[in-house]
Amino acid sequence: MSDVLVVAEHRQDSLRDVSFELVTAGRNLADEMDGTLDVAVISGAVESFAEALSLDGVDRIHTVDYGDEFNHDVYTQAVTQLHDAVDPTVLLLPNSVNGLDYAPAVATRLGLPYVSDTVDVEWDGEGVVTVREQFGGKVETVVGVDDDAAVVSVRPGAYAPADTDGTASVVAFDAEIETDAVLTDVRGFEEVAGGDVDITEADVLVSVGRGIEDEENLDLIFDLAEALDATVSASRPVVDDGWLDKGRQVGQSGKVVTPDVYLAIGISGAVQHVAGMKGAETIVAVNTDPNAPIFDIADYGVVDDLFDVVPELIEQLG
Amino acid sequence: MKVLVTAKQVATVDDDDFEVGVDGVDEQFLEYDLNEWDEYAVESGVSFAEECDDDVEVVSVTIGPEQTEETIRMVLAKGVDRAIRVWDDALDEDALRDVETKAALLEAVAERESPDLVLTGVQASDDGLGATGVALAATMDVAWAAVANDVEIDADAETVHARRELEGGLEEVTDVALPAVLTIQTGINEPRYASLRGIRQAQRKEILPLGLDDLDVDATQLKRRLSVKSTRVPETTSTATLFEGEADETATDLAEMLRDEGVTAE
Ligand SMILES: Cc1cc2nc3c(=O)[nH]c(=O)nc-3n(C[C@H](O)[C@H](O)[C@H](O)COP(=O)(O)OP(=O)(O)OC[C@H]3O[C@@H](n4cnc5c(N)ncnc54)[C@H](O)[C@@H]3O)c2cc1C
C-alpha cells in the first residue's frame, strides 16, 4: 500500500522534464496525505533512469525492464499490474502526448476515475481535489474526485522539477507483458522537416495567431516584420491552415524560441503555445480579449484590434 | 468498410465580460460549434471514403440533446452519410464529465455499428479532457493511437500506418492493427466547407436518436465520480504594462517601447 505512484516518462535515452515535475507534484500530495511516494520507470535504460529519479522525497522506485521506447500497450499493461501491486491512492501520470496515449486506458482498465490535464493536485483530507482549465485557460474549475482512488494526469510545466538527490530504494518489477495484447508496432521516430527559415535563431519574432482571420491578411504581419527587421513565426492554427510552413510554428509540437522580443499578434496564449515562447526576454501582446492568457506572461500589451494597431505601428516605425 | 466519427458540439465563450457560476460559465455567454479537432476527424473519414472505390460508410456519433442537431447537420453536410445522436434525460453534466460514462455510451454505439475504424478528435476545445478516444478503445478492447497527424489506411492488411505527433517536432511512426480508434490532431488535413449541395443533402440524411434503453446501457454504467466544486476566472498574474488609448496612441507607445528595446529596422 502506498499513497502516490508516479510514472516517469523518457524518450531517446533521456528522462523528460515532466518526470521531475511529477516527482514534485507527487511529493506535495504525499506530504498532504502523510504518506509515501513511489515512482515507476518503464522500458529503456531503467537502471540509469532509476538513479536519476532517486530524488529527495521519493521512497521507492520500481523498474520495468521491457523494450526500449514507449509503447502504450506495454505501458498500459505494466502500469495496471504495478497499480495492483503497489495499490496507490493516487496514480499520477504526465499529460504529455504519450500520457494522452495511455493514461485514459489505464484508468479504464483499473475502473478508476480519471482527471486529466490538471495544473494542481491536492489532498483535502478526504479525497483528491484538482484544478483544471477550461475554454483555453479563460476559466479554472476545481474538480473533486469522489472515490477511494484516482488516476490524475498533470500538465507539463505545472510544477517545478525536483532536483535534490535522495536515497530511494530501487526494486525491479516483473511485469508480465502479454504480447498478444500488444496491438501497435512502434517503428521509430522521424523529425519533421524544418522549412526555409530558422525561427530559433531570430532576435525578434513577430508571431501571428488565429486573430489574423485570413491568409491574405498575413501581408500585414510580414510588413510589420520588415519594419522591425524581424522574422515571422506563428501559432498552430495558422500552420494547420497551411498559410505558413511547419518550421514557423512556435509551441509544444513546434519550436521552442527564446528571442529578445516576441510580439504575439492575435494569439490567445494557450498552454501548448506558451510552452514554446515563455523563455522570450520581452513579450508583447496585441489582442482584443483582455482575458486572453497571453497577457499573464506579457511584459507589454495592447487590448485592441490588431487591424487597427498593426497598420499604425508599421506607419510609425516607417 | 465502416468508419465511425465522433462529433462533439462544444461551447465557446464569446464575450469578454462573461460571468461564471459555481458549475461553470453562465449559459447566456456561450456559443456552440463543432469541436475544432472533430472537424479534422470528420474530414479524415469523409476523404478516406472518397478515395476508396468500394463503399465506405461514414457514420457520426454525437452525445448531446436535441439542440446539437444543428451541429450534426453541419457534419452531414460535409459528407458524413448518417448520424447517431445519443441522449437520455439521465445524462447530466456530472455523468458526462466522467469519461467512463462517455466510453460506455460510445462503446454501445460501436457494438451496434461494428465500425472497422473509429475517429475522434484529440480533445474537445471546451473542457479539454483529451480522454474519450483512448478510453473508448480500451473499453472496446481494440487497438488505438492518440494524437495522429498522418493516417494511411491499408484495409487489405487490416492495418493503419499512422504518425503520432510528439513534442518538439518529432513524430512516432506506428502501425496499428484494425479495428482501431485513432484520435486525430489538427492540421492532418484541410477540413472542407460544406457545399450548398451538401447542405441540401444533409436535410435528407438520417439522424437517429438513441437513448439508454436503445443502447442497452444500464443506469448503473453511468459514473459520476468527478464533481466541480467551483469555477472561477483565474486571477491574473499579469505584470504587463498595458498601453491604452486610440490605435495611433498605443502604436506610438509600442513603437517607443520597441526602440527602447533596441528593435528597429535601421
Ligand atoms: C497535443 C497538442 C499540441 C499542440 N501544439 C501546439 C503548438 O505547438 N503551438 C501552438 O501554437 N498551439 C498548439 N496547440 C494548439 C493550442 O491548444 C491552441 O489551440 C492554439 O495555440 C491556439 O492558437 P491561437 O492563439 O492562434 O488561436 P486562438 O486560441 O483562437 O486565439 C486567437 C486570439 O486572437 C484574438 N483575436 C481575434 N481577432 C483579433 C483581432 N482582430 N485583433 C487582435 N486579436 C484578435 C482572440 O481574442 C484570441 O485570443 C496544440 C494542441 C494540442 C492538443
Q: What architecture does CATH give domain B2-221?
A: 3-Layer(aba) Sandwich (3.40)
**Strand-by-strand arrangement of the A282-286 sheet:** A231-234, A204-208, A261-265, A282-286, A300-302, B241-243
- Domain A4-181 - what CATH class? alpha beta
**B-proximal residues of A, 18-57, CB under 8 Å:** none
Query: B157 CB near a chain A CB, below 8 Å?
Result: no
How many angstroms separate the CA atoms of A139 and A112, rounded?
26
Write the CA distances from A79 to A92, A185, A272, A297, integer angstroms: 11, 19, 26, 36
Residue B28 reports pLDDT greater than 90? no
Q: Where do the CATH 3.40.50.1220 domains begin and end in chain A?
A: 199-317
Find out whether the beta carbon of A293 lies less than 6 Å from any atom of ligand 1. Answer: no
Test A309 with B250 for CB contact under 8 angstroms.
yes
Find out whether the beta carbon of A306 lies less than 6 Å from any atom of ligand 1. Answer: yes
Residue of A nearest to B189 (CA): A240
Low-confidence ranges of chain A (pLDDT < 70): 1
How many angstroms separate the CA atoms of B125 and B136, rounded?
19
Residue B160 reports pLDDT greater than 60? yes
For residues B142, B147, B150, B154, the Cα torsion angle rounded to the nearest 10 degrees is 0
Read off the C-alpha cell for B8.
Answer: 462533439
Test A296 with B238 for CB contact under 8 angstroms.
yes
- Residue owning the nearest CA to atom 43 of ligand 1: A287
Cβ count within 10 A of residue A67: 16
Test B257 with A300 for CB contact under 8 angstroms.
yes
Instruction: Cite the DSSP H helix spans in chain A.
Output: 17-32, 46-53, 72-86, 97-110, 218-228, 236-240, 271-274, 294-297, 306-317
Read off the C-alpha cell for B84.
Answer: 447517431
How many angstroms separate the CA atoms of A26 and A37, rounded?
7
Share of chain B above pLDDT 90, in %: 84
Find out whether the beta carbon of A231 lies less than 6 Å from any atom of ligand 1. Answer: no
Nearest alpha-carbon partner for A37 in A2, A8, A63: A2
How many angstroms separate the CA atoms of A68 and A62, rounded?
16
pLDDT in tens, B75-105: 999 999 999 999 999 999 999 999 999 999 9
Share of chain B above pLDDT 70, in %: 98
A211 CA to centre of ligand 1 in angstroms? 8
- Residue A162 DSSP symbol: P
Question: Which one of A243, A252, A295 would you pick to mutate in the ligand 1 pocket, going by the greatest count of ligand atoms within 8 A of its CB?
Answer: A252
Find out whether the beta carbon of A233 lies less than 6 Å from any atom of ligand 1. Answer: no
Write the CA distances from A222 to A158, A266, B89, integer angstroms: 34, 14, 52
Polymer length of chain A? 318
Residues in chain B within 8 Å Cβ distance of A214: none
**A-proximal residues of B, 35-74, CB under 8 Å:** none
How many angstroms separate the CA atoms of B151 and B3, rounded?
13
How many angstroms separate the CA atoms of B91 and A291, rounded?
32
- Residue B233 vs residue A251, higher pLDDT: A251
Test B264 with A317 for CB contact under 8 angstroms.
yes
- The shortest CB-CB distance from A140 to any of B103, B145, B232 is to B232
Residues in chain B within 8 Å Cβ distance of A146: 224-227
- The shortest CB-CB distance from B238 to any of A145, A261, A295 is to A295
Find out whether the beta carbon of A253 lies less than 6 Å from any atom of ligand 1. Answer: yes
Find out whether the beta carbon of B136 lies less than 6 Å from any atom of ligand 1. Answer: no
Query: A121 CB near a chain B CB, below 8 Å?
Result: no
* pLDDT in the model for residue B31: 86
* pLDDT in the model for residue B54: 66
Average pLDDT across chain B, whole number? 94
- The shortest CB-CB distance from A309 to any of B167, B225, B251 is to B251
A270 CA to centre of ligand 1 in angstroms? 6
How many angstroms separate the CA atoms of A54 and A164, rounded?
9
Test B183 with A100 for CB contact under 8 angstroms.
yes
* pLDDT in the model for residue A135: 86
Write down the domain spans for chain B: 2-221
Read off the C-alpha cell for A167.
Answer: 536515497
* pLDDT in the model for residue B46: 97
Mean of the pLDDT values across residues B251-259? 96
Test B169 with A284 for CB contact under 8 angstroms.
no
Options 3.40.190.10, 3.40.50.1220, 3.20.20.70, 3.90.1260.10; CATH of A199-317? 3.40.50.1220
Task: Quote the crossing angle between the two packed helices B99-113 and A97-110, to the nearest 10°.
Answer: 80
Find out whether the beta carbon of A273 lies less than 6 Å from any atom of ligand 1. Answer: yes
Q: With contact defined as beta carbons under 8 Å apart, do B113 and B4 qualify? A: yes
* pLDDT in the model for residue A222: 98
Residue B59 reports pLDDT greater than 90? yes
* pLDDT in the model for residue B15: 64
Residue B22 reports pLDDT greater than 90? no
**B-proximal residues of A, 186-225, CB under 8 Å:** 186-192, 203-204
Question: Which one of A268, A302, A306 would you pick to mutate in the ligand 1 pocket, going by the greatest count of ligand atoms within 8 A of its CB?
Answer: A268
Q: With contact defined as beta carbons under 8 Å apart, do A161 and A20 qualify? A: yes
- Residue owning the nearest CA to atom 49 of ligand 1: A268
* pLDDT in the model for residue B182: 98
Find out whether the beta carbon of A221 lies less than 6 Å from any atom of ligand 1. Answer: no
Instruction: Cite the DSSP H helix spans in A10-131.
Output: 17-32, 46-53, 72-86, 97-110
pLDDT band, residue B266 (cuts 50/70/90): low
- Residue A106 vs residue B53, higher pLDDT: A106
Q: Where do the CATH 3.40.50.620 domains begin and end in chain A?
A: 4-181
- The shortest CB-CB distance from A295 to any of B103, B129, B240 is to B240
Q: Bridge-partner residues for B174, per DSSP?
A: A186, B162
- Nearest ligand 1 atom to the CA of B165 is 1
